[in-house]
Amino acid sequence: MSVIKLSAIDSTNDYLKELSRNQIVENFTTVVANKQTKGRGQMGAAWVSEEGKNLITSILIKDVLQDVDEIFHLNVAVALSIFEVLKANDLPNLAIKWPNDIMSEQKKIAGILIENSIKSDGKIESVVGIGLNVNQKSFENLPKASSMAVVTNSEFDLDEILNQLIFQIKKNCSYILTRQTDRLWQDYHCNLYKINVPLAFEDANQHKFMGIIQGVSTNGLLEIKLEDDSIKSFGIKEVQILL
């Protein structure tokens, strides 16, 4: 496994996808950058990060998912890996906010962007992009964002955090490979943000409603109990939590 360190790049996800299009890339090859000029977040949003302060990384993962039905297992494994690294570094009040955010003290510390592709031989290859706010201290115009440094009032070594992250991701991927996904899902649900709490939501038609998160289905849908006690499943673009 190799780590490719870049000073600046448009997007580490795009770089790794392009690399893997042009050559054979070893499993768990990791790209890190000090700065991204076109960092991408979920649903076409930009991912902005102060140069040299945070972890901006993409990891190539292959030979782990055996079927497209299993794709969300990887989201679970990666979200839990970040959660576990933050926990080991004493970050308080941690939670995994569906679908892809890691929260500490009710603020977003990390985001995940996984891009899957199916190769000509039918194998699934994933570029796992992670933006983890580590040492950045101010987040202008981003009132819901925070960092490890802000929350703990101390600084962290980026290489050390990256090593911890890769270790956890490999470990959690091994649970997918050995069909022990139940333990991943159990930990994921135990730490799911606002599970079992009445909340306000908004659907894709700007319709606001109250509900209670019951969990996430194996295909990655958020399951919400509605006021009439029925359970409805929502995809990423179909609902957002109003806080």
Question: CB of residue 64 vs ligand BTN: minimum separation in angstroms?
Answer: 19
Nearer to ligand BTN, 42 or 163 (CB): 42
Nearest to 111 by CA among 89, 131, 81, 82: 131
Nearer to ligand BTN, 12 or 172 (CB): 12
Which one among 12, 126, 136, 164 touches ligand BTN, defined by CB under 6 A? 12
Nearest to 81 by CA among 165, 174, 161: 165
Question: CB of residue 188 vs ligand BTN: minimum separation in angstroms?
Answer: 17
Closest CB to ligand BTN: residue number: 111
Nearer to ligand BTN, 139 or 209 (CB): 139
Could you tell me which residues come within 8 angstroms of residue 11 by beta carbon, excluding any fewer than 6 positions away?
A: 36, 38, 39, 40, 129
Looking up tokens 């939501």 gives: 201
Whether a cis peptide bond, with omega within 30° of 0, leads into 92 is no
Using the rule CB under 6 A, is 133 a contact of ligand BTN?
no
Beta-strand runs (E) in the chain: 3-9, 30-36, 55-62, 94-97, 101-104, 107-118, 124-132, 198-203, 208-216, 222-226, 231-234, 239-242
| 98-127 binders of ligand BTN (CB under 6 A) | 100-101, 111-113
The count of residues interacting with ligand BTN (CB under 6 A) is: 21
**Piece of the chain touching ligand BTN by CB under 6 A; list 35-43, 59-67, 152-160, 210-218:** 35-43
Question: CB of residue 110 vs ligand BTN: minimum separation in angstroms?
Answer: 8
Q: In angstroms, rounded to a whole number, what is the distance separating the alpha carbons of residues 13 and 167? A: 20
Site string for ligand BTN, 41-80 (x = CB under 6 A): xx--x-x--------xxx----------------------
**One-letter amino acid of 52:** G
Using the rule CB under 6 A, is 193 a contact of ligand BTN?
no
Could you tell me which residues come within 8 angstroms of residue 4 by beta carbon, excluding any fewer than 6 positions away?
A: 29, 30, 31, 32
- DSSP code for 84: H
**Piece of the chain touching ligand BTN by CB under 6 A; list 10-18, 19-27, 77-85, 138-146:** 10-18
Question: CB of residue 71 vs ligand BTN: minimum separation in angstroms?
Answer: 16
What is the DSSP annotation of 192-242?
A: BTTBTSEEEEEETTS-EEEEEEEEE-TTSPEEEEETTS-EEEE-GGGEEEE
Nearer to ligand BTN, 11 or 191 (CB): 11
Using the rule CB under 6 A, is 13 a contact of ligand BTN?
yes
Q: In angstroms, rounded to a whole number, what is the distance separating the alpha carbons of residues 157 and 243? A: 32
Q: Which residues bind ligand BTN (CB under 6 A)?
A: 11-13, 36, 39-42, 45, 47, 56-58, 100-101, 111-113, 129-131
